[in-house]
Structure 1
Amino acid sequence: MNETSETARNKAVAVHAFNEFAAGNLDVLRTTLRDDFIEHSPGNPSGREAFIAFVAQAPVARARLALKRVIAEGDYVVMHYHMTTDDAPRGVAVVDIWRLVDGQIAEHWDVVQPVPEDARTPHGMF
């Protein structure tokens, strides 16, 4: 597989999984995450089943997720999105970094930043 088609496939897998998850389909994680999935965020468990159980109870499972941009290169897909809840309407800006192997997500890193008041971000967060 050449670099372009691998990148396109990985981007398509990640975007499909994101859209399904954002629509409330947590089961998409069972087919998208590898069994030996590695999580790099502090406090989050590694392993597909442990991670799914954790995420099912986390605020992200009930949040609104608005995808703003996707950047992909080879094995890596980076997603930038806005996550909001009824309790936190300003929400947080999230950047997820996914590494894919053979069409499944093998590793995950993230960066999360609270969205401040509009006056503090004259050019916007997104």
Structure 2
Amino acid sequence: MTEISVTERNKELVLRGFTEFAAGNVEILRTLIREDFVEHSPGNPSGRDAFIEFIANSPVAKSRLHLKRVVAEDDHVVLHYHMIPAGDERGLAVVDVWRLVDGQIVEHWDVVQPVPAPAAIPNGMF
């Protein structure tokens, strides 16, 4: 049996966390995010507990999340997904970039874009 690479281990951790979170388990974040977690997105707090409280009370925690793709390299895992909040049929396209150290998330960046009407994106958003 071969040893799993750091890239694959990080990818598996983030995917498991995303799947659990998308199913409504916000507490999974406590096992994945390091206490001294650093957030790079405007308006989102750093620190594990502050970030989890913020996310638990944000629209993302109550949205349907449809994963479209995953890109992983060394200590970074990138998720591209469709977030559909209640009452918003088009939703948002989201890209999250996570950096991991020793099996825990230490940094996060994101890019969020409203999904426009289909006529505005003839090649599709995802």
Common topology (TM > 0.5): yes
Alignment of 1:1-126 (within 5 A): 5-126=5-126
Which residue identity lines up with residue 101 of structure 1 in the other structure? Answer: V
TM-score (normalizing by structure 2): 0.96
Q: CA deviation at 1:89?
A: 1.2
Give distance in 2, aligned partners of 1:119 and 1:83: 20
Identity of aligned residues (%): 65
Partner secondary structure for residue 5 of structure 2:
helix
Residue ranges of structure 1 left out of the alignment (5+ in a row):
none
Superposition misfits of 4+ residues, deviation over 6 angstroms: none
CA apart distance, 1:86: 2.2
Give the total of aligned pairs. Answer: 123
Question: Residue by residue, what CA displacement relative to the aligned partner does 1:55-78 show, whole Å, maximum 9, x if unpaired?
Answer: 111000000000000000000000
Q: What is the identity, as a one-letter code, of the residue corresponding to 1:41?
A: S
5+ residue gaps, structure 2 = none
Matching residue's letter, 2:73: E
**Backbone CA RMSD of aligned residues:** 0.8
